[in-house]
């Protein structure tokens, strides 16, 4: 078989003339389209900032907007090349079905993200506890939520399980109740202990007057009494007040000779020693 180089050259030239220009136009559309998408994203983000759209919702909306624009751009590019759109849509539909079946977990996370942003059980900046983890919400993505822990670890929680989990949000209410448990010896004067605790509460300006503080006995054992102190404060004062009250209570108890309960094993050991000494 003799190759007709002239025919091959002519076929290549015809192909280049027919599709080369379309390909160049398609590349031009792709480049310009990518630039336009970036500009539109910046404009939409600026518009959402001016309209004070919720911080947790902005990245999600931008992602959806960007994906939609890129899909539209790719359809325009493929149409410019000359691919039959009917066939392309059929292939795209089949591919979408296959991808959907393969990515069921990711789709569940996507649906969970939509649910979270719709119901808003938490927002960016809230401190939450969920799925055995706790931290401040840094970002709500399409597929996961990012938490920053108190010790500066980053945790990624899939949105699917998170949307159906029990979420404790510590940042919703402006005030919180601090509960302190003071266990002292049964031989102490309860009235004196209550008075000391009341003085600590009165001296601390972070303690709210309403709801009124409560100092109550919550447990009465053979050798100890547990006094529960319930006070209210602003959300941001919770941990500082909790730590300070415990430290100041210990110092006040020591200064006023408030005895702490003696462990039972020490009492048994002491009694045994006395009996041994008496026998000797």
What mean pLDDT do residues 27-52 have? Answer: 84
Of the listed ranges 92-106, 122-136, 179-193, 250-264, the least confidently predicted one is: 92-106
Beta-bridge partner residues of 184:
225
Q: Is the pLDDT of residue 271 over 70?
A: no
pLDDT of residue 267: 47
Rounded Cα distance, 277 and 265, in Å: 18
Give per-residue pLDDT as tens, 13-29. Answer: 666 666 667 777 788 88
Select the more confidently predicted residue: 98 or 259: 259
Beta-bridge partner residues of 136:
127, 148
pLDDT of residue 119: 82
pLDDT of residue 51: 73
Q: Is the pLDDT of residue 32 over 60?
A: yes
The contacts of residue 40 (CB under 8 Å, 6+ apart) are 65, 69
pLDDT of residue 156: 94
Question: pLDDT class for 260, splitting at 50, 70, 90?
Answer: confident
Rounded Cα distance, 49 and 58, in Å: 8
Question: pLDDT class for 97, splitting at 50, 70, 90?
Answer: low
Q: Is the pLDDT of residue 141 over 70?
A: yes
Question: pLDDT class for 34, splitting at 50, 70, 90?
Answer: confident
Q: Is the pLDDT of residue 270 over 70?
A: no
CB atoms within 10 A of CB 147: 25
Is 151:102 a contact under the CB 8 Å cutoff? no
Question: pLDDT class for 62, splitting at 50, 70, 90?
Answer: confident
Give the whole-number percent of the chain exceeding pLDDT 90. Answer: 31
Of the listed ranges 69-73, 199-203, 245-249, the least confidently predicted one is: 69-73
Question: pLDDT class for 279, splitting at 50, 70, 90?
Answer: low
Alpha helices in 103-233 (DSSP H): 104-119, 159-163, 190-203
Q: Is the pLDDT of residue 234 over 90?
A: yes
């Amino acid at each position: 078989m003799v190759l007709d180089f002239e025919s091959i050259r002519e076929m290549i030239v015809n192909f280049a003339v027919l599709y080369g220009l379309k390909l160049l136009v398609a590349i031009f559309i792709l480049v310009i389209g990518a630039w336009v998408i970036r500009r539109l994203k910046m404009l939409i983000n600026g518009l959402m900032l001016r309209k004070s759209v919720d911080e947790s919702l902005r990245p999600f909306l931008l992602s959806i907007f960007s994906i939609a624009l890129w899909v539209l751009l790719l359809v325009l590019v493929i149409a410019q090349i000359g691919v039959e759109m009917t066939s392309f849509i059929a292939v795209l539909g089949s591919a979408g079905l296959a991808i959907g079946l393969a990515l069921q977990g990711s789709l569940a996370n996507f649906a969970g993200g939509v649910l979270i942003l719709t119901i808003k059980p938490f927002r960016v900046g809230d401190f939450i506890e969920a799925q055995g983890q706790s931290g401040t919400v840094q970002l709500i993505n399409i597929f996961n939520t990012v938490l920053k822990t108190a010790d500066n670890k980053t945790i990624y929680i899939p949105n699917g399980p998170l949307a159906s989990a029990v979420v404790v949000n510590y940042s919703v209410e402006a005030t919180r109740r601090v509960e302190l448990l003071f266990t002292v010896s049964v031989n102490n004067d309860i009235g004196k202990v209550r008075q000391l605790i009341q003085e600590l509460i009165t001296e601390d300006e972070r303690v709210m007057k309403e709801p009124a503080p409560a100092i109550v006995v919550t447990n009465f054992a053979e050798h100890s009494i547990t006094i529960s102190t319930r006070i209210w404060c602003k959300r941001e004062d919770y941990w500082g007040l909790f730590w300070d009250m415990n430290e100041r209570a210990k110092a006040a108890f020591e200064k006023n000779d408030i005895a702490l309960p003696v462990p039972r094993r020490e009492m048994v050991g002491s009694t045994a020693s006395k009996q041994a000494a008496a026998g000797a």
